[in-house]
Amino acid sequence: MAWNYLQQSAPERALPYSRAAVNLITSLIGKDVLVAAYLHTYAAVLEQLGRLGEALVSYRQALGVAEACGSRRSTVASYHGLGATYLRLGAFDEAELNLRIAIDLYGMLGQTAEAAQASQQLEEAREETRSRPASR
């Protein structure tokens, strides 16, 4: 339900469903792929709501769970979410690092549309980095 509202650009409606899913995590011990997916959806909701700091925390949690259980799809989605969130925060070096990893993983998984989206965001991060004044 949360993901449907998120796709409809209605994060305020998605938040209670996503939060409820995250609260179910304790009952899902041993089902880490689901936990990673729930955490990722929750992070995406927070990101759309502009709660970027909280989104980073949830994306990192999702990434940790996804990597621990070997879920490549959740891993790549978490890296992409981290990169996009860092981009919105103006943390271009961190955005570039996470987006590069996402692009490589999307390529390995054959997810070309997602790789193209991450590549576009990476180019945006590079442009922002180039346009910054040099430090003295």
Q: State how far Cα 62 lies from the chain centre.
A: 8
- Please state the pTM of the whole predicted model: 0.76
Tens digit of pLDDT for each residue in 45-91? 999 999 999 999 999 999 999 999 888 999 999 999 999 999 999 99
pLDDT for the residue numbered 3: 63
pLDDT for the residue numbered 79: 98
Tens digit of pLDDT for each residue in 99-108? 999 999 999 9
Whole-number Å distance between alpha carbons of 109 and 136: 42
- Alpha-helical regions (H) of 2-110: 2-7, 11-23, 32-48, 52-69, 72-89, 92-109
Tens digit of pLDDT for each residue in 2-31? 666 667 777 777 777 777 776 666 555 566
pLDDT for the residue numbered 103: 96
Question: Topology of domain 2-131, per CATH?
Answer: 1.25.40
Q: Where are the domains of the chain?
A: 2-131
- A 10 A CB-CB count for 69 gives 16
